[in-house]
Amino acid sequence: MAMKFRTMKRHFREGAKNIWRNSWMTIASVGAVTTTLVLVGAFLALMLNLSHIAGNLEEDVEIKAFVDLTAEQAEIDAIGAEIEEISEVSLVEFSTKEEELEGLIESMGDEGQVWELYEQDNPLSHAYIVKTTDPLDTVSVASQIEAIENVEKVNYGQDVVQNLFTFNNYARNIGLVLIIGLVFTAIFLISNTIKITIMARRKEIEIMKLVGATNGFIRWPFFVEGLLLGVLGSIIPIAAIVTGYYYLSNNVSSLTQFEFVELLSFNPFAWQLSLLILAIGASIGVWGSVMSVRKFLKV
């Protein structure tokens, strides 16, 4: 549909004017948008950060494949080659038994000195340290590696990892369900508010139609109005989230004893989240407004 530019301009002007003309509707709708977006925003920030932290933990998961003590150098190399063959593997590193011992001594701290006795006669094995592209493949890759000849055993913190993955999986799914639920509640609440207020404008729509306005001509200002309502409704949530997140991301390390708790960095996360909230607000506003006006157009 080719619309004249001046008609488009008129629709934007008219939509903006309607924000003033229907001040009560504006306040009610913007209030509904604001309330729900604050909830959606806070919850999104929480979920995305939890997922980020869980992801960090998963990233740390690695498989250690110990080489049989009796293996010759050629056989050791063969193991490495075979591990690299596995398509889910992203990184293979070889660690000699001397390096292994060093690592052990270091991790033990003071008690580690006892192990220094073994430096002459190292009882440890050479090892391959393997990472997978997707941490979730860890278990299956580990069992593939275990099957390779001359691999004595594999270690990836079996119990912990399995629990971590299960927990993360639950957390993500529940979070997703909650967010979807929240967004739908928001859509329902907001479009209902808008619908009620547009009902009051049913007569106006009828008059416009009697004066010869097409459906599109009536719908456009409503579209603009909904868009503006959504955008107005996202101002407070965005301000709240940016401020709140700024404070939180600066103070989280001192608030918790856990080093691994590292939030998504303020920049760009807070801005991305703001944009998302703006987009959600705008689309909900437009949707609610256009859907509500649709019913009254058949005059």
Partner 1 sequence: MIDMQGVYKTYPNGVIAINGIDVTIEQGEFVYIVGPSGAGKSTFIKLIFREEKPTKGSITVNGKDVLKLKWKQIPYLRRDIGVVYQDFKLLPKMTVYENVAFALEVIGETPKTIRKRVMEVLDLVGLKNKARFIPDELSGGEQQRISIARAIVNYPKLLIADEPTGNLDPDTSWEIMRILEEINAGGTTVIMATHSKEIVNTIKKRVIAIEDGLIARDQHRGEYGYEV
In angstroms, the Cα distances linking 193 to 25, 118, 187, 226, 256 are 8, 75, 10, 12, 41
Nearer to partner 1, 22 or 34 (CB): 22
Q: How far is the CB of 219 from partner 1 (least distance, A)?
A: 13
Residue 64, helix vs strand vs coil: strand
- Cβ 226 to partner 1, closest distance in Å? 17
Q: Which is nearer to partner 1, 6 or 117 (CB)?
A: 6
- Residues engaged in binding partner 1 (CB under 8 A): 4, 6-7, 10, 18, 21-22, 203-204, 207-215, 217, 298-299
Residue number with CB closer to partner 1 (210 or 255): 210
State the minimum distance, in angstroms, from the CB of residue 24 to partner 1: 11
Measured between alpha carbons, how far is 150 from 214 in angstroms, rounded to an integer? 79
Question: CA-to-CA distance for 141 and 63, rounded, in angstroms?
Answer: 9
In the complex with partner 1, the residue whose CB is nearer, 117 or 211, is 211
CB of 294 to partner 1, least distance (A): 13
- The span from the CA of 127 to the CA of 94, in Å, is 6
Asked if 282 and 224 touch (Cβ cutoff 8 Å), the reply is: no
* Torsion of Cα atoms, 154 then 157 then 159 then 160, to 10°: -160
1 versus 117: smaller Cβ distance to partner 1 = 1
Length of the chain counted residue by residue: 299
Least separation in angstroms between residue 135's CB and partner 1 is 57
